[in-house]
Amino acid sequence: MTEQTDDSLTPPRAVLVGIVGGAFSGLFGLGGGIVMVPLLTSLGGLTQRRASAYSLAAILPAAIVGSIPYLTHQAVDLISAALLVVGSVVGAAYGARLLARVPETLLRWLFVGVLVAGIVRSLLDSFVDPPSVDTAQGIPSLLDGAGMVGLGLVMGIASGLLGIGGGQIAVPGLSALFDFAPALAKGTSLVAMIPTAISGTWVNARNGLVHLKTAAIIGLVASVFSFGGASLSVVLPDNVASILFAALLVFALVQQIRKALEKR
């Protein structure tokens, strides 16, 4: 299936989406597609399908820029990232193929499910102290390695289909299943997201769902403005940031449900 992209996402709109999305992503740490997709449907005027495609493409420059601090501080497990990529590259290509075929209404309800999971996780994070010990060093066992490939596959399918980054799948998966400390899980997820986004975006571009230049504008602007949000985040207590992020997701959830019901 090949679609022609429309002109509703003009460069000024793309810049606006990048500014707002980047600021929110920097402020809350794990915004990514879970913030960008609702912005692309509301501010950008895109359909759910194209919003997913644009979000995945825009994640690429943000993942590259965002992974640099983690790499310089050695907060990336490169072996685990490579194992994630083995599954995620295949999963992202498959998810992007599904994106071209799944009905719009189902896509929107699937994204509603992602938002609900994000709200629950943010509220839990506001009451639970994260582990501070990194236990993910060294070569993983054969079982753990297979588990990481499987986690990468799920991460890739979700990224390709819904336009979300690895933060919603890989970070909690690495923390819960493999005892990764939060910083290491985020850094490893970001590095793995780079080839994942390339894989899914390549399929989306072939299907005519995304203009790469416009997506690049969103991603680059978001990367710049994420620094401002990150600067503000350092003065917010973690539990306050988690509650505010949950409130943002509730707002996005209401908008997504309203649009899904209108379409129905």
For the chain, report the end-to-end CA distance as a whole number of angstroms.
23
CA distance 255 to 198: 29
Average pLDDT, the chain: 81
Report if residue 139 sits inside a domain: yes
Alpha carbon distance 164, 80 (integer Å): 20
The answer to whether residue 204 scores a pLDDT higher than 70 is yes
- Give tens-digit pLDDT for 40-85: 988 888 888 999 999 999 988 888 887 888 888 888 899 999 999 9
Identify the domain containing residue 222 by its residue range. Answer: 11-263
Determine phi and psi for 6, rounding to 5 degrees.
-95, 180
Domain membership flag for residue 6 = no
Q: What is the mean pLDDT of residues 86-104?
A: 94
What pTM was computed for the model?
0.83
**Total domains in the fold of the chain:** 1
Least confident of 22-31, 38-47, 112-121, 122-131: 122-131
Q: Give the model's confidence band at 93: pLDDT under 50 very low, under 70 low, under 90 confident, else very high.
A: very high
221 inside domain: yes
The answer to whether residue 170 is domain-embedded is yes
| In-domain check, residue 5 | no
